[in-house]
Structure 1
Amino acid sequence: MRIVAIKNPNSEAEQRLVHEMHRLRARIFRGRLAWKVRCTSGLETDRFDRLNPTYILCLDRSDAVIGCARLLPATGGTMLEQLFPQLLETAHLPTHQRMIESSRFCVDTTAATKREQAGLHSATLAMFAGIVEWSILNGYREIVTATDVRLERILRRAGWPLSRLGAPAQINETKSVAGLLPADWQSFDRLRPSIYSSNISIHQKEAA
């Protein structure tokens, strides 16, 4: 189980992983969850993918993508505020320089068969830990996200509870909720599964 962070994929290997990620998103969001998302040639994309995001990916032993999330600075305008303002108590999100937005989170739990604490999949925990690790190392201290109440329960079981920004609301086929998550080393240590590894700190050293 390995976590990688990719921004501006510039190698054939990274381009392949991002392509696999878009295929995974189509399979999960359109195929399994029946969300009304745009898919072309079996790939799910939207306009936020054109804003130079960082992708956090979970790879299995064969380097297949089994989990993903998209991270964008909240100060640039959030998917939450633009598309789902009904999830915010005031329909407005007060952002700051240390806030990052996480979106398009998913894990293929049929591929991630290994389980860790509280019956949670190790890939799910690894994705949570990877998001936290990348956020801390890039100067972020708070993660904002819109998710469904099922994942909210998973976050609570993992020991990383969501602080709600408003009441849940039905959006199409999903009962959704928005909230904030802390990005700190205590959360990372609590979330990190026993088989966790990542390339995030290595890439940070190279960039420094």
Structure 2
Amino acid sequence: MIRIITNKNKNENIQALEDMFKLRYDVAVTQWGWNIPGGKKGYDKDQFDREDTVYFLAYNDAEEMVGCGRLNPTLKPHLLSEIFADQCETHGVPRHKNIWEFSRFMVDGRNQTHTQQVQTNLELCLAVTEYSVAHKIEKLSWLAYASMYTKSVVLWKTEALGAVKYYEDDDASYRAALIETTPESVKRIQRFLNRKRRKPIVSIQHGEVTHDIIA
């Protein structure tokens, strides 16, 4: 199951968001070894978790949270513009009403098999892409592991925003990119999932999400 949380239904999902902040810390710091300056131990919430942030939460069949991601408008301060602008050396930081930033994309690697991790990863990618298409978000900017960049070109039309950069604190290499969210991308990800959903992932009424998402 993928649940989408916006400012329209945030008050009904306070506990889910609290669980997400804890999951993010567990994955990013405990599993991946990230160094997040100034963060609260056991809890990852930053200045880009705002009222207009859109969250995507992935749950397994036992209703345990196993992954997450978020979208932020690029016309406001976001991760790439405020912290990692040097990653966008080729064309600068993308800013447009139809470009949003995709960040904190994480899948729990401890409580899932490799196959389940891949499934959760694709489910989140599909949810984010379908949501973007439904809301006229044409492109997503993101900063990801360099290895994830090479995989993203299979799912979306992808443009690098700069060269691969190594971060000693994390002992990892990252690359910023811009991906196109199109109906063709939706179909491509569905093929990788080897199935189609019975219902669209997003139900739209007057431009708003009207219910939680059942995968």
Kindly report the root-mean-square deviation, in angstroms, between the aligned alpha carbons of the 2 structures.
Answer: 2.4
Q: 1:102 maps to what in 2? A: 102
Give the aligned length.
Answer: 200
Q: Distance in 1 between matches of 2:55 and 2:81?
A: 20
Structure 1 gap ranges (5+): none
Whether 1:178 and 2:179 are equivalent positions in the alignment is: no
Cα deviation, residue 130, structure 1: 0.8
How far apart, in 1, do the equivalents of 2:19 and 2:102 lie?
Answer: 19
Secondary structure, in 3 states, of the residue corresponding to 1:47? coil
TM-aligned CA distance change 1:196 to 1:3, over 3 Å: farther
- Structure 1 SS opposite 2:48: helix
Mapping for residues 51-90 of structure 1, pairs under 5 Å: 51-90=51-90
What is the alpha-carbon distance in structure 2 between the residues aligned to residue 199 and residue 185 of structure 1?
12
Separation in 2 of the partners of 1:26 and 1:175? Answer: 20
Counterpart of 2:162 in structure 1 is: 166
Q: Deviations over 1:111-145 (max 9, x none)?
A: 343738xxx71101111111101111111010000
The percent identity for this pair of structures is 22
SS of residue paired to 1:76: coil
Where 1:201 maps in the other structure, the secondary structure is coil
Q: How much does 1:151 deviate? A: 1.6
| More helix by percentage | 1
TM-score, normalised to structure 2, is 0.83
Residues 111-190 of structure 1: pairs in structure 2 closer than 5 A: 111-113=111-113, 115=115, 121-156=118-153, 158-160=154-156, 162-171=158-167, 172-173=169-170, 174-190=172-188
CA, structure 1 residues 200+159, in 2 after alignment: closer, same or farther (shift >3 Å)?
closer
Report the alpha carbon displacement of residue 160 of structure 1 after superposing the two structures with TM. 2.7
Contact 1:26–1:39 (CA under 8 A) maintained in structure 2? no
Unaligned runs of 5+ in 2: 210-215
CA–CA distance in structure 2, aligned partners of residues 17 and 197 of structure 1 = 25
Q: TM-score, normalised by structure 1?
A: 0.85
Distance 1:177 1:114, change over 3 A: closer
What amino acid maps onto 1:188 in structure 2?
V
